[in-house]
Chains A and B, each alone.
Chain A
Amino acid sequence: MKISKKIVLIGHFGVGKSSLIRRFVENTFSEDYKVTIGVHVLKKEITIPKTNDDITLVIWDLEGNDDITNTRPSYLIGTSGFLYVFDMTRPTTYENLEFDLNYIKERYPNIPMKIIGNKKDLVTNDFIKQNKDVFGRFVDFYTSAKSGKNVEEVFYNLAQTLLKEAKK
C-alpha cells in the first residue's frame, strides 16, 4: 500500500527552507534568493534502505515568518512531521528557538519534529562549540543546502520516524 505523509518546513525568512527542499527533491542549489509567498508544495518518493519501505513525502514549504504565532494554522492541519529550520549565521533566527519549539509542541503534541541548523558551510566547528548552550540543547542536524551536507539524512530520518509511527 502506498504511504504518503505531509511534512511541513517552518522557520524565519531566509533560513534556507526552500533551498533545503530543492536540494533534497532536485539536488540543485541556487544563490539567488527568491522569497516564498504563501506555500509551495513538492513531493519526493523515497525508499528506506534498511527496511525497503516506500514512502511519498509531500513537502509543504511555508513562507518564512519571524513570529511563529503568525503562521497560518490551516497550513499545519494534517501534518505528519515538522522540520524547524534556523540560520546558524543569524542569531535572530534562533534567539526565540525554545519559545517557537514549545509553541509547536503544545499545539501538535504527538507530531515528530526535527530541528535543523542550516548554512553549516558558513560557520566553523568552533562557532558551534561556542554556542553549544543553544545548539547542543535543541539541534538534531547541522545542514548545508549549498553543499548538500546532511540534507538527505534529515528527510530520511524523519521519514523513518513517520514509518515507525504508521506501523504502530
Chain B
Amino acid sequence: MNQEDKLKILKDILLKDEHEYALSIEHKLKKLEDLINKQNNLSKHIDPILEEKLDEFIKEMPKTLGPTITETLKAEIKNSQDAVVEALYPIMGKMIKKYIQKEIQILSENINKKVNNSFSFESLFRKFKSKKTGVSEADLILQEQLKPKIEQIMVIESGSGIIVSEYSKTQNLDQDTVAGMLTAIKSFAEDAFTTEAQNLEYIEYENYHIHLQNFSNYYIAVAVSGAFTATFRSRLEDKLLDFAQNIINKTDLNNSDTFSTKLKAYFENENI
C-alpha cells in the first residue's frame, strides 16, 4: 500500500457523510428534473391543486365579484340610459304589439260571433236599440264587450276577516286568505285615517276592481272585471243594500250554508 492508497482510505473515512449527503442531493435533483421535464408527471401533481383553487374561486365568485359586477352594471345603465332604451325598445315594443294584437283578435272574434249570430233575440234587441238611439250596432257590441262583470262576491266578517259566505262562477282564489288580507288592508287604511270614521270602499288590482260595501258586522267584497263605471257602482250598491235589507237576516250570518244559498240565488243570474 503506497502513500496514495493510504490517503484515499483516509479520505473515504473522513468524508463519508459528506459523500452520502452529496449523493442524496444529486438523487433529489434528478427526481425534480424528471418531474419538471415530464409534463405528465408535473400536471399529475399540480392539476388537483389548481382544480381545488378553481372550485373555490367559482364558489366564492358571487360573493367576491357579485357586488362589483352589480355596481358596474348599475353605473353602466345609469350612464348609458339612451343605449339601454335603444336596446330594450324593440323587445318591449314587440311584446306590447303582440299582446295588443292578441287582445284585438279576441275582441274581433267576439264581435264577429255576435254579428254572425244575427237571428238571436240579443241581436234583434241590439238592432232595435241601435235604430232607436242612433248609436251604431258596432259601438253597442263594443260596449257589451267592456261591460262590467261580477267575478266573485265575498261576505266577510268585520274585524276577524273570517269569510261568512262566497259566490263565484270560477273558483280560483284561496278565499280565506284573500278575505283575511282584504280585512288587514281595510283595517290598516281605516286606522291610518283616524280623523273621521271612514271606511275603505274600493281597491283596484290589475284588471279587477274590488268594491267594498260596509255593514255593521260584516262587509261585502265584490270583484269586478271590465269597465267599473259610476253608474255600475251605483247599481251595484243598490243591489247589495237590497240583498242585505231584504234577503238575509241576522241568523244567516251564523249559518254560512244558508247565507251562501241566498247569495248564489240572488246573484247567479243577476245583470246589473
Count, A-B residue pairs, CB within 8 A: 61
- Flag if B184 contacts A39 (CB, 8 Å): yes
Assembly CA distance A77 to B180 (angstroms): 12
Assembly CA distance A60 to B179 (angstroms): 12
The interface residues of chain A lying within 8 Å CB-to-CB of B158 are 77-78
Is A129 among interface residues, defined by CB-CB distance under 8 A? no
Encode contact with A along B157-170: 1 for CB under 8 Å, 0 otherwise: 11111110000000
- Flag if A43 contacts B180 (CB, 8 Å): yes
- Flag if A60 contacts B184 (CB, 8 Å): yes
- Flag if A41 contacts B180 (CB, 8 Å): yes
Assembly CA distance A1 to B259 (angstroms): 12
Contact partner, A74, options B157, B187, B255, Cβ 8 Å:
B187
Encode contact with A along B174-190: 1 for CB under 8 Å, 0 otherwise: 10110111001001101
The interface residues of chain B lying within 8 Å CB-to-CB of A75 are 184, 187-188
- Flag if A58 contacts B190 (CB, 8 Å): no
Q: Given A1-B255, A1-B256, A74-B190, decide whether A41 and B162 contact each other with a Cβ distance below 8 A.
A: no
Is A164 among interface residues, defined by CB-CB distance under 8 A? no
Q: Given A38-B184, A42-B177, decide whether A78 and B255 contact each other with a Cβ distance below 8 A.
A: no
Encode contact with B along A32-46: 1 for CB under 8 Å, 0 otherwise: 000000110111000
Q: Given A2-B256, A42-B177, A58-B176, decide whether A77 and B160 contact each other with a Cβ distance below 8 A.
A: yes
Is A79 among interface residues, defined by CB-CB distance under 8 A? yes
Residues of B in contact with A, size category: 20 to 34
- Flag if A56 contacts B191 (CB, 8 Å): no
Is B71 among interface residues, defined by CB-CB distance under 8 A? no
The interface residues of chain B lying within 8 Å CB-to-CB of A38 are 184, 188
Contact partner, B176, options A1, A4, A72, A80, Cβ 8 Å:
A4
Encode contact with B along A57-80: 1 for CB under 8 Å, 0 otherwise: 010100000000000111101111
Contact partner, B177, options A43, A72, A78, Cβ 8 Å:
A43
Contact partner, B159, options A4, A39, A78, Cβ 8 Å:
A78
- Given A4-B176, A74-B187, A78-B159, 13 more A-B residue pairs with CB atoms under 8 Å apart are A1-B257, A2-B256, A4-B162, A5-B162, A6-B162, A38-B188, A41-B177, A60-B161, A72-B187, A74-B159, A74-B190, A77-B158, A80-B160
Which A residues fall within an 8 A CB radius of B? 1-2, 4-6, 38-39, 41-43, 56, 58, 60, 72-75, 77-80
